[in-house]
Amino acid sequence: MQKYETVIGLEIHAELCTESKLFCHCAYTFGAAANDCTCPICLGMPGTLPVINKNAVAFAVRAGLAMDCDITSYSKFDRKNYFYPDLPKNYQISQYDLPLCQNGQVTFDFNGERRTVALRRIHLEEDTGKSVHAEVTGDATRSFMDFNRAGVPLLEIVSEPEIHSPEEAIAYCRAVKEILEYIGVSDCNMEEGSLRCEPNLSLRPMGSQQLGTRTEIKNKNSFQELLDAMQYEVQRQARILDEGGEVIQETLLFDASTGKTAAMRGKEEADDYRYFPEPDLVHVQINADWLTEIQPTLPELPAARRERFIADYSISAENAEFLTATRHLADFFDEAVQCGSEPTACANWIMGDVSRLLNAAEMDIQDAKVTPAHLSELIQLINDATISGKIAKSVLDDAFETGKMPKDIVKEKGLSQITDTSEIEAIVLQVVEAHPGPAQDYRDGKKKAIGFLVGQVMRATRGKANPQLVNQILTRVLSEE
């Protein structure tokens, strides 16, 4: 039996993809030249003042509504004071005691079970800049600052500590990421740092109600690293407790190259951020009318969509999971079905050939030339026996490349199936005559030999003969002789 229960809570930071920063008009672009996306306000120059970006508040409210939060009608911003070179004012404008959203929840499937994790709060704050260290110049004593990211709106989503394994924590993070992407408030790109998941993790003896001492883990750029870090930390803490030691409350950095966590440089003293209300901003009042305006603009969330796909389209749970991986993919599927195609066929094409083409081109579905209308038309052409499934694959390849409609491709290239039995019969007779060996094999009872002959007929018609007709006619011709 397991000796300890793992307890994990998560702080997730997501950069909001608003057009401008939280308190100034600067637009932020990842990868822009250092300090190109800055102005006196986000650089914290003397005398400048912040003004709240209403759209950022709207994005936070969307996230709050999508995660079942209570939206606070009266909210405010506070100053969180600490010195760090990437923080232009040496205080961060954040939210302390009156966050925009409280008491939410996120539901997701984990190990075949439905799990719900409660959220403590979601608040809005400004992101910091970035230090650029010595490798740029080769002089190890110098650091440079890039403030492009400083002031970008950041959503902080704080869960209750009620997740019980690293794997479950990952499932939770994926669910949050999915929601944020679905509602269009963040692109959640972990490698670019627009989504940062910071777990706090502790162990306690099985059955205990009291929380153990926790550690926080920072610095992970992928779910794999996050998982590795948490798994390592569970083992590390278990070892300490087994040996009768005490876990120290501290912030740890995960080093992906060694697979280990280590305490952040320097001893952490008790943080005192000296929070106090931001006097340069007025409080935020969110009236019910505005909420009623925002609510209907929320899309169907991934969990609800999966359930609908399963119930209405008879799609398997596994396939529904695949099809809702991104909002765009699910939209594509939904639209293709609405164009009149049979859902299972749509799903198979999307998960099969469409995905194959996307992967090969390293492309997302929303950027592809193939649209739901293309797919729907393609399936229609198969259903009415205009083309075979095999020809359809090449038509899709072509459409993917050129964006042309399948009907036009079939017409241009003369790909319609030959369904004229006399025409097929003439070719069949030629093939049987040209290949007496396999024909004799078939007659001698080696039924498999027909495959070769079918292949030869298809080859002669460049794939356009209706395969079923070819089979029928071949069988008849061979048994007649």
Partner 1 sequence: MPHYELTAHALHEKLKARDITAVELTESVYSRVAAVEPHVKGYLTLTRERALQQASAADAGFQKGDEMPSLAGIPIAIKDVICTKGVRTTCASKILSNFVPPYDATVMEKLHQQGIVMLGKTNMDEFAMGSSTENSAYQVTHNPWALETIPGGSSGGSAAVVAADAAVCSLGSDTGGSIRQPAALCGVVGMKPTYGRVSRYGLIAFASSLDQIGPFSKDVTDCALLLNAICGRDAMDSTSVDVPVPDFTKSLINDVKGLKIGVPKEYFAQGLEAEVSDTVHAAIAVLESLGASVEEISLPHTEYAIATYYIIAPAEASANLARYDGVRYGYRTENPSDLLTMYKKTRSEGFGQEVKRRIMLGTFALSAGYQDAYYKKAQKARTLIKSDFDAAFQEVDVIATPTSPTPAFKIGERTADPLQMYLSDVMTTPASHAGLPGISIPCGFVKRGLPVGLQLLAAPFAEERLLRVAYTFEQNTEHHRQKPNLRVEL
Query: Rule CB under 8 A: which residues touch partner 1?
Result: 40, 43-52, 79, 81, 83, 85, 88-91, 145, 270, 272, 274, 276, 279-282
Nearer to partner 1, 147 or 442 (CB): 147
Nearer to partner 1, 54 or 446 (CB): 54
Nearer to partner 1, 36 or 420 (CB): 36
Nearer to partner 1, 114 or 265 (CB): 265
CA distance 369 to 332: 12
CA distance 388 to 467: 8
β pairing state of 215-218 and 251-255: parallel
In angstroms, what is the minimal distance from the CB of 121 to partner 1?
20
* Residues present in the chain in total: 481
In angstroms, what is the minimal distance from the CB of 55 to partner 1?
15
CA distance 197 to 175: 12
In angstroms, what is the minimal distance from the CB of 127 to partner 1?
17
In angstroms, what is the minimal distance from the CB of 131 to partner 1?
10
Nearer to partner 1, 60 or 449 (CB): 60
β pairing state of 144-146 and 130-132: antiparallel
What is the chain's Cα-based Rg?
30
Tokens 């008491």 correspond to what residue?
Answer: 103
In angstroms, what is the minimal distance from the CB of 41 to partner 1?
9
- Using alpha carbons, select from 126, 161, 103 the residue that is nearest to residue 28: 126
CA distance 352 to 116: 32
Q: Is 56 helix (H, G, I), strand (E, B) or coil?
A: helix
Cα 308 to chain centroid distance, Å, stands at 19
Nearer to partner 1, 244 or 266 (CB): 266
CA distance 102 to 123: 9
In angstroms, what is the minimal distance from the CB of 218 to partner 1?
19
Nearer to partner 1, 82 or 434 (CB): 82
In angstroms, what is the minimal distance from the CB of 38 to partner 1?
10
> CB of 463 within 8 A of CB of 390?
yes
Identity of the amino acid at 281: L
3-state SS of 206-222 is CCCCCCCCCEEEECCCC
Question: 449-471 burial, b if ≥16 CB within 10 A, otherwise e?
Answer: bbeebbebbbebbebbbbeebbb
Using alpha carbons, list the distances in angstroms from residue 3 to 204, 290, 319: 9, 50, 37
Nearer to partner 1, 152 or 453 (CB): 152
Nearer to partner 1, 282 or 361 (CB): 282
In angstroms, what is the minimal distance from the CB of 40 to partner 1?
5
In angstroms, what is the minimal distance from the CB of 179 to partner 1?
31
Nearer to partner 1, 131 or 440 (CB): 131
In angstroms, what is the minimal distance from the CB of 16 to partner 1?
20
Q: Is 370 exposed, middle or buried (0-12, 13-18, 19+ CB in 10 A)?
A: buried
